[in-house]
Structure 1
């Protein structure tokens, strides 16, 4: 499961998911809980990761 978060309410979800992404604008606690980083949610950060996942480029090669 791939999940994305940027706020404190997302921390537990990020910890539980296999592929967790903190958004670029996320706070430090959210970044610490996630395994990976994504671009800003103001600039299609989620879409960029989804495109890479569908092409088997991320997070599998990281």
Structure 2
């Protein structure tokens, strides 16, 4: 699982099995990711991880 918000994250997102672009990410990064997460200014990574772990998918 990987999270990114800018073009320097694109390769990481492409290699990850599950990838999230942050809501405030640039358009190229959003186009590569499998999912969209809330903005990093809104604790987006934390929200996704809490949801993921609460479903017992860890």
* Unmatched tracts of structure 1, length 5 or more: none
TM (normalized to structure 1)?
0.85
- Superposition RMSD on alpha carbons, in Å? 1.5
| CA distance, structure 1, for counterparts of residue 14 and residue 40 of structure 2 | 20
Q: Which position in structure 2 is the counterpart of 1:40?
A: 39
> Which string of whole-angstrom CA distances, capped at 9 and with x for unpartnered residues, describes residues 7-31 of structure 1?
1100010011001000010011000
* Unmatched tracts of structure 2, length 5 or more: none
> Which string of whole-angstrom CA distances, capped at 9 and with x for unpartnered residues, describes residues 25-61 of structure 1?
0011000110000001001100000001101288xxx
Q: Which position in structure 2 is the counterpart of 1:29?
A: 28
SS in 2 for 1:22: strand
